[in-house]
Amino acid sequence: MIAEVIINRSAKKLNRTFDYHVPKELEGLILLGSNVLIPFRNGKAEKIAEGFVVRLKEKTNFESKLKDIIKLEEQLKDEQIDLAKWMAKRYFSNVSDCIKLMLTPGTRAKEKENRIQDKKIKCLYLAKTIEEIEFEIETGKIKLEKQKKILDFIRDNEGATISEVEMFTDCSRSNIQTLCKNGYLEIIEEKIERNPLNNKDIEEIKKKEQTKKLTLTEEQYVAYKKVEKCLEENKYKTFLLYGITGSRKNRNLFTTYTKIS
């Protein structure tokens, strides 16, 4: 199986496909729309590059020069690849640039270390039991009111971040550091998974968009009727919409037409 791959680069000379051999272990896994890693020579040096499979075939004219795909990364849908090709042709863009628009926000960077990654935060926990801390407060070993306030807050909110403790107790970071140094608190680094689509119900958003009732202003209605007339008569005509920058002239008019029709 041969894969035609678009390299994830902006250079115009790379706005074409390159043939790669699909290894046996990846057959059936690599499909149209697969995001893959491939060996790519740019000048004298050969490096590992990222690319997108835009076509699968059984024959190639470069059999003797063919190299293997190294690894499968992600998978796009067939219709996303088709849309990217159409956009590239329509707007004279690189296919790879259009494909990147189909990727989940936060995953578009070519270098993986620049993509959205799990965030690490420093959280505070008690290093001694509540009984031990209360005893040391009673015996006067912990004297400062600010330190008592911090310990009291963390007793009820273990796992709070340093900035949260500073905000809710109105104490400085030096007070926290002193308690850590004296063995009353410990800082534990915790990982937070970050999802750019978190709290976004995509299906619900689509549903709302589809059922949203649009009401045209008088000026929008006049413009809409002129466009509608040409479409119904199957005529090609250019329209110029007047409006301030950012008023979403095209989107409002043609989204309205699609929903009404």
38-54: average pLDDT: 83
Torsion of CA 199, 74, 84, 206, to 10 degrees: -20
- The verdict on 18 and 65 lying in the same domain is yes
Please provide the distance, in angstroms rounded to a whole number, between the alpha carbons at the two ends of the chain: 44
> 67 and 39 in contact (C-beta within 8 Å)?
yes
Whether residue 174 lies inside any domain: the answer is yes
Residue 46, SS3 per DSSP: strand
Model confidence over 48-80: pLDDT tens digits?
888 889 888 988 888 777 889 988 887 788 888
Give domain status of residue 197, yes or no.
Answer: no
Q: How many domains does the chain have?
A: 3
Q: Are residues 10 and 108 in the same domain?
A: yes
48: in domain: yes
pTM, whole model, 2 decimals? 0.42
Q: Do 174 and 217 fall within a single domain?
A: no
* b/e sequence 63-83, b meaning 16+ C-beta within 10 Å: eeeeeebeebeeebeeebbeb
Structure tokens at 49: 């590059």
Report how far residue 168's alpha carbon sits from residue 149's, in angstroms, rounded to the nearest whole number: 10
**Of 171, 192, 213, which residue is a domain's last?**
192
Number of neighbouring beta carbons within 10 Å of residue 259: 13
Beta bridge partners, 150, equal none
| Residue 236: per-residue pLDDT | 81
Of 114, 147, 181, which residue constitutes the final position of a domain? 114
Expressed as residue numbers, the domain containing 75 is 2-114
CATH assignment of the domain containing 88: 3.40.1440.60
pLDDT at position 44? 72
Let me know if residue 101 belongs to a domain: yes
| Last residue in a domain, options 172, 192, 212 | 192
pLDDT tens-digit readout, 81-134: 888 889 988 888 888 888 888 776 655 555 555 554 556 788 889 998 988 888
- Sequence-distant contacts of 219-222: CB under 8 A, at least 24 apart: 220/252, 220/253, 220/256
Is residue 205 scored above 70 in pLDDT? no
